[in-house]
Amino acid sequence: MQWTSEAIPDEHHLYRRVHANDFRPSGELNPGAFREDRMSCDWCKYRTPKETQRGGPQDPRKYAVGKLKVGKVREIPNQQVQHTPDASGNNRAHTDVVGKKKDPEIRLRFFKIFCEVIPLSSEG
Amino acid sequence: MESRVLCELEIDESEEIHVEHEFSHADRVTVGHKARTEPLVWLAGDADWEEPHTITGDEKRHPLMFAWESTPRGRSHFLDGFLMAVDQAREILSWDDDWDGEGSPRYEEETLQRATHFLLDGVRQLTAECSVSVHVPRILPGPDGSIDIHWQLHDRQMLLNIPASVDEPVEYFGQKESGGSIKGNFYLSDPDLEPLTWVKR
């Protein structure tokens, strides 16, 4: 199945899987959770948070899921939202947030707009 | 005015403990092999630190460098919280490559040491020169083997990144809820204490 890349509206959300190691023992998220220059997310149009949680390389119980509002992501400097459907992974929702993440300002801004929707330890 | 003294303790290959007193004098305490099998954290709870007493710690913690603040009333808020933060941070040293399933590299002891040394040296300098104390940060895993130092206070945040490579600069960004912000970078060979003054108590 081939899917074309679509424009994602500002008011939509991206779901982002976050690994258990990105949380402190207290349950608080680390700003380092937003570290990949091509940060994989799922567009809410084609996936649910549960599907995103199950879509990782490890046991779903090792992941929490949060959402990022697309318009807010686009307000972060030098970050682009690119819908990149993944045919081999059968994931039409796949979306990359492209841009350098090492800059502390960038990661703090992702940290502030991230909203958890599936906490850690919820069964996938 | 309450005196505040910050000291450093190092354990070298000869297994001697060296203690340097910031303001009055330098001294050396030799404990030999005993220090390897008994608790390693020594505290000068008051000015009379020539007879230090053991309070906590074990060989697994085994940090190569300790620091403490000595005041007439004992340890400072910063040191208590700092030791806890370092203890928690040391867990990331046990993570292997690909600890997140996304290919992230492991964390090196040297990177964590650079982070803790920057904090301790900076706090020591601010305490000595300006009588300024600093909120205790969290020491966290950052991107590409780097270490994040994060202050999340009620009215502001500061994120400072210690890179895995000494050839890369430290970067920081702070933001107040009221809207002000601070951003910059520096090399650890010429540290900038501005981000620490931004999170003073």
**What would the pLDDT profile of B22-35 be if each residue is shown by its tens digit?**
333 333 333 332 33
The larger pLDDT score, comparing residue B137 to residue B71, is at B137
Average pLDDT over residues B112-138: 87
A59 CB within 8 Å of a chain B CB = no
User: What chain A residue is nearest to B96 in terms of C-alpha separation?
Assistant: A21
pLDDT score for B145: 96
Which stretches in chain A have pLDDT values below 70?
1, 122-124
Sign of CA dihedral A14, A15, A21, A23: positive
| pLDDT band for position B81 (cuts 50, 70, 90) | confident
Residue A62 with chain B: CB contacts under 8 Å: 101
Q: What is the mean pLDDT of chain B?
A: 71
Of the candidates A48, A38, A112, A52, the one whose C-alpha atom is nearest the C-alpha of residue A82 is: A38
Residue B6, beta-bridge partner list: B69
Q: pTM of whole model > 0.80? A: no
The larger pLDDT score, comparing residue A54 to residue B21, is at A54
User: What chain A residue is nearest to B163 in terms of C-alpha separation?
Assistant: A102
CA distances from B100 to A23, A35, A80, B173 (A): 12, 11, 23, 25
Total beta-carbon pairs less than 8 A apart between chain A and chain B: 68
